Chains A and B, each alone.
Chain A
Amino acid sequence: MIASVLTLAFLAQAIRIAVPYAFAALGGAVQERSGVIDLALEAKLLFGAFAAAAVGHATGSAVCGIAGGVAAGMTVALVQAWCALWLAADQVIIGVALNVIALGGTRFLLQAIYHEGANSPPAPAYGDAVLTNPLVPAAIVCALMVPLAVRRTRWGLRLRAAGDRPDALVAVGVSPRRTRLHAMLVGGALAGAGGAQLSLAVGGFSADMSSGRGYIALAMVILSGWRPALAALACVGVAAAQALSVQVQMHMAGGGELRRQIVDLAPLLPYVVTLLVISLYRGRDRSPPSALGKL
């Protein structure tokens, strides 16, 4: 039973599921460490997925599709930055608003461009392929490099200063607003790449295909104490639970009522664990950037 579940197919599927979560969480961590709440991850994933499918369909090239997804994520981040940093609107509300716009907006674009209600025309598909999909190694590289960049580079130092002590940044002549904008563009690019994986893995965009992943990724960022590496790791956990459930369902023809229930509810386990960890464990090492959400 265990051997039949933990196969290469399972691994490939877990990786495919983990990539969008991990990209979104890395992007969210970068943006939030700079002091801007990122509730718009869902919008970045969704617009990223749409743009990747649309560009992929138009050019026939998956790599161009990825570029389109990244650009879309950055565009959403740009709108978010303008509203949050220049117009000083409430960052949580902007995030929710952008998510609502993404949900309707991608369907509007489907209708306006393709006259389709729910699905885009086919785009190049990577499927469960791990070796040929450049997004998989890219995600692994980002999961290693982003934490390093945040911790060790000058860019990372300024980014963390913008999130924790923006006044200190002003004192040395660096604009916190500019620093945050740069962090948001990087974060948007990462989340947009995650969106590209969503649509290019299945070879097309379908309405609401992010289905709450952006929210879950943000929760993992907070759960990890705003540490990008840990957040990406937590996302792998979420993906593994979902892949495991799919595999077990495929390999379990009969099975008792109780066992079926447990397997069906298994994908919810990471959310229950998150809830428990957040409410039971209040460490000081898990506190948010002190200027998060403030201007």
Chain B
Amino acid sequence: MRRSLPVALLASMAVGSILMLVVGASPGHVWWTMVTRVLGSEYQVGQVLYKATGLALTGLAVSVALDAGLFNIGGEAQLGAGIFACALVGTALPAGTPAIVAIPVCTLAAAAAGGAIGGAIGFLRAKRDAHEVITSIMFNAIVAGVVLVEGSEHIFQGGTTTGPAIVPGAELPRLPLGGSAANCALFIAIAAVALVWWLRARTTWGQAWLAVGRDPDAARHAGISVARVQILVMAGAGALAGLAATSFVMGHKHALEEGLGAGTGLLGIVAALLGRLHPVGVGIASLLLGFLSVGGLAVGDLVPKELTEVLLGVVLLAVATAAAWERRAAA
């Protein structure tokens, strides 16, 4: 997959350039403007880091599950549950709760809610033979529906789509980057990348989950409880996706908001595959995807900002087909 990745990226850039030509812009000028405007401004760099924080966590949620042979398309549900729980707990805490209590409590709430959804998906797969893609889709629909209904019935304030603010103690400090949304949840994402790397590379635990992904039957014969691994990995994956709520709720909006974080769970799939399922790769891929989506906004005066949204999907398509192409070339 090493050689195919640059090919896939070049192909995606070519598609992007064609789209730019379609709307009558000069591709070279647009790409160059995108790079200089994003990298030349503290604010834009901060926005890239903010986007990458969420994507890295939902990306890891996809990559660790795929390591164990499970396709976790339920990132939307896991993140949605995390955001809901994080905001709910954050507003329920007494007003004067100090940060040293409030931040861990809200972080745990986000991870636990996401982990519960992920664990349920893993349980249904391992014990009830229900395919994780379908149960994930159902959970995505159910969580989105419940959050919207509960939000508009009980939480959103008078006609708005925003809930009450979380206690000040639960707010994560912003990073001093030109007033951007980048916040200390970035360090949670970096810690998660490091943790997943350590688990995979240095523990028997990680070896067990990789073995289940390579060949469940062989893993079973080696004495690994495949069902247990699948449930725990999915619970962990869900917790990772749920943790992205720390950036959206505690770091940025400080409240429940309709549509907050939407799409990040789905784009995590792009980050995971572009990062070749390696935790560090997922981190780098998240930065690249964050750059693309912020860059699209930055050149909004030259081409429609939706152009880079298309490119996110094109990148995924190109990575998938290039990987298959290389697999066949090697065989």
Binding site for B on A (CB under 8 A): 39, 83, 87-90, 92-94, 96-105, 107-108, 110-112, 212, 215-216, 218-219, 222-223, 260-261, 264-265, 267-268, 271-272, 274-275, 278-280, 282
Contact between B128 and A279, CB atoms less than 8 A apart = yes
Contact between B320 and A94, CB atoms less than 8 A apart = yes
Contact of A104 among B129, B145, B313, B325 (CB under 8 A): B313
Contact between A90 and B320, CB atoms less than 8 A apart = yes
Residue of B nearest to A82 (CB): B321
Tell me if B133 counts as interface (CB < 8 A to partner A).
yes
Tell me if B224 counts as interface (CB < 8 A to partner A).
no
| A215 neighbours in B (Cβ, 8 Å) | 137, 140-141
- Tell me the B269-313 residues at the A interface (CB within 8 Å): 269-270, 273, 304-313
| B321 neighbours in A (Cβ, 8 Å) | 83, 87, 89, 94
Contact between B149 and A265, CB atoms less than 8 A apart = yes
Min CB gap B313→A, angstroms:
3
Sampled A-B contacts (15; CB under 8 Å) = A89-B324, A92-B73, A93-B273, A93-B316, A96-B266, A97-B320, A100-B316, A101-B313, A104-B306, A105-B306, A112-B23, A212-B144, A271-B145, A275-B138, A279-B128
Contact between B146 and A107, CB atoms less than 8 A apart = no
**Bound Cα distance from A223 to B305, whole angstroms:** 38
**Bound Cα distance from A260 to B153, whole angstroms:** 9
Contact between A261 and B138, CB atoms less than 8 A apart = no
Given contacts A100-B316, A275-B138, contact A88 B324 (CB under 8 A): yes
**Bound Cα distance from A97 to B321, whole angstroms:** 11
Q: 19 more A-B contacts (CB under 8 A) besides A97-B316, A268-B145?
A: A83-B317, A88-B324, A88-B325, A89-B317, A90-B320, A100-B312, A100-B316, A101-B314, A108-B306, A108-B309, A110-B306, A216-B141, A265-B145, A268-B146, A271-B145, A278-B131, A279-B128, A280-B128, A282-B129
- Tell me the B1-56 residues at the A interface (CB within 8 Å): 19, 22-23
Given contacts A107-B306, A219-B137, contact A99 B130 (CB under 8 A): no
**Bound Cα distance from A39 to B267, whole angstroms:** 15
| B145 neighbours in A (Cβ, 8 Å) | 265, 267-268, 271
Given contacts A94-B317, A97-B317, contact A111 B138 (CB under 8 A): no
A-B contact count, CB below 8 Å?
143
**Bound Cα distance from A260 to B133, whole angstroms:** 31
Tell me if B227 counts as interface (CB < 8 A to partner A).
no
| A280 neighbours in B (Cβ, 8 Å) | 128
> How many residues on the B side are at the interface (Cβ–Cβ under 8 A)?
50
**Bound Cα distance from A272 to B153, whole angstroms:** 21
**Bound Cα distance from A280 to B328, whole angstroms:** 39
**Bound Cα distance from A219 to B138, whole angstroms:** 8
| B306 neighbours in A (Cβ, 8 Å) | 104-105, 107-108, 110-111
Contact between B146 and A212, CB atoms less than 8 A apart = no
Tell me if B134 counts as interface (CB < 8 A to partner A).
yes
**Bound Cα distance from A276 to B23, whole angstroms:** 48
Tell me if B142 counts as interface (CB < 8 A to partner A).
yes
**Bound Cα distance from A260 to B71, whole angstroms:** 36
Contact between B142 and A104, CB atoms less than 8 A apart = no
Q: Top 5 A-B pairs ranked by shortest CB distance?
A: A104-B309, A100-B313, A101-B313, A111-B304, A97-B316
**Bound Cα distance from A90 to B313, whole angstroms:** 14
Contact between B324 and A99, CB atoms less than 8 A apart = no
Residue of B nearest to A264 (CB): B149
Min CB gap B13→A, angstroms:
15
**Bound Cα distance from A99 to B130, whole angstroms:** 23
Tell me if B323 counts as interface (CB < 8 A to partner A).
yes
**Bound Cα distance from A280 to B269, whole angstroms:** 29
Contact between B134 and A278, CB atoms less than 8 A apart = yes
Tell me if B124 counts as interface (CB < 8 A to partner A).
yes
**Bound Cα distance from A157 to B280, whole angstroms:** 48
**Bound Cα distance from A112 to B327, whole angstroms:** 37
**Bound Cα distance from A274 to B141, whole angstroms:** 11
Tell me if B207 counts as interface (CB < 8 A to partner A).
no
Contact between A99 and B128, CB atoms less than 8 A apart = no
| A99 neighbours in B (Cβ, 8 Å) | 266, 313
Given contacts A264-B153, A268-B141, contact A278 B135 (CB under 8 A): yes
